[in-house]
Amino acid sequence: MASETEISIDRLAGSLDLPTDELSELYVGEAMIGAMFAATLAIERSTWKWMGQQIQKGMAGEFFLHLKEQGATVDQIGEWRLMIDARFAEYRLCLQGYEELEPPWKLGRQFYWNMIGDERYVAMSIKIATLYLLEIRDAAQKLMNQYGPTLIVNFTG
């Protein structure tokens, strides 16, 4: 997410056409939480619940390790842990009733609002935020398809 790939945070911020001073001071963390949620969507449809939980714990663990390496205190990491839980719950609410017939605009809208720290309706930015999350979900899905757990059944028992 830090490089100049399609899913980099810098590219997302640039695509939203907002100066960084108009983004929430926590926008990088918000973007990472959104990315973890998008990846979780792919994980949940690709593996059984327990395995998915282990992968999600690993993602969160890496996020907390990164925070620690950046100098975050135990209390700050705890605050981020609470924020992840709150955002995941918020994002799940956005998907209630979602049937995948069109992109999940409510999810993208909430992600955009979290990134800017305000509830402004800017249709193009909401679309960009939505497509960003879908791109991350699809990238995670490719990884799950290629490297994820598989079930091998032996019928010759």
Mean pLDDT for the chain?
88
Which of residues 1 and 86 earns the better pLDDT score?
Answer: 86
Nearest to 28 by CA among 40, 3, 5, 10: 10
Residue 153's pLDDT band (cuts 50, 70, 90): low
Q: In this predicted model, what pLDDT tens digit does every residue of 75-114 receive, in sequence order?
A: 999 999 999 999 999 999 999 988 888 899 999 999 999 9
Q: What is the DSSP letter of 31?
A: H
Contact 106, 84 (CB under 8 A): no
Alpha-carbon span 55 to 49, nearest angstrom: 10
Residue 152's pLDDT band (cuts 50, 70, 90): low
Residue whose pair of structure tokens reads 């999350």 in the numeric block: 133
Alpha-carbon span 104 to 100, nearest angstrom: 7
**What does the pLDDT read at residue 21?**
72
Q: In this predicted model, what pLDDT tens digit does every residue of 31-43 receive, in sequence order?
A: 999 999 999 999 9
Q: Which two tokens stand for residue 10?
A: 């810098």
Contact 34, 82 (CB under 8 A): no
* CB proximity list for 119: less than 8 A, separation 6 or greater: 113
Specify the pTM: 0.86
Q: Report the 10 Å Cβ neighbour count for 86.
A: 12
Per-domain boundaries in the chain: 9-147
Angle at 135 between CA 16 and CA 126, to 5 degrees: 35
Task: Point out the least confidently predicted range of 48-52, 66-70, 135-139.
Answer: 48-52
